[in-house]
Amino acid sequence: MLHRARRRAAAHGWDNVILIQADMTTLDPSIIGAHIRDSGGSTASEAALATYSLSLMPHWGTAWKNMTTLLRGDARICVVDMQDPIGRARWLAPLARLACALGGADITAHPWRAVEETCTDVTSASTRGGHLQIRAGRLSRPTT
């Protein structure tokens, strides 16, 4: 996916896209941060997207902290992840749990809650009987 993203960014001339391959639970944000500062010394990253990734990390809260450290204080951030299906689709919960377990994801992690807790202007959506949860918002800390 990273290779395809690099090709796409190059093909479109998107020189403002920074793609990083790293373990966000062990990453030292100061090392990456030095490469993504603007000329005024501020963090230049304006957005981040975590799709079906945080629930794969035993310490996803650390990954969230590292990821948001690399963003401007008013950056947009989106998390897409999974939970047990709800409502009429709840009978599919055993299948969803099995699929997540086979893939190494913790279906009970609920990492999108970090968006709800640390962002403003949060937009919420879900699909597949509530199994897929989407949250997008704007970080609510002063821009550094």
* Domain housing 115: 2-139
Give pLDDT, residue 113: 95
User: Is 40 inside a domain boundary?
Assistant: yes
Whether the pTM exceeds 0.85: the reply is no
Which two three-digit tokens encode residue 74?
A: 């008013």
pLDDT in tens, the chain (144 residues): 889 999 999 999 988 777 878 888 988 877 776 666 655 555 567 889 999 999 999 899 999 998 898 888 889 999 999 999 999 999 999 999 999 999 999 999 999 999 999 999 999 999 999 999 999 999 987 544
> Which residues fall within 8 angstroms of residue 11, CB to CB, at 6 or more apart?
none
User: Is 144 inside a domain boundary?
Assistant: no
CATH code, domain with 43 = 3.40.50.150
Overall number of domains in the chain: 1
Q: Which 3-state string (H, E, C) describes 79-129? A: EEEECCCCHHHHHHHHHHHHHHHHHCCCCCCCCCHHHHHHEEEEEEEEECC
Q: How far apart (Å, rounded) are the C-alpha atoms in residues 90 and 102?
A: 19
Residues paired with residue 71 on neighbouring β-strands, in sequence order = 45
User: Is 123 inside a domain boundary?
Assistant: yes
Helix (H) or strand (E) holding 50: strand 45-51
User: Is 61 inside a domain boundary?
Assistant: yes
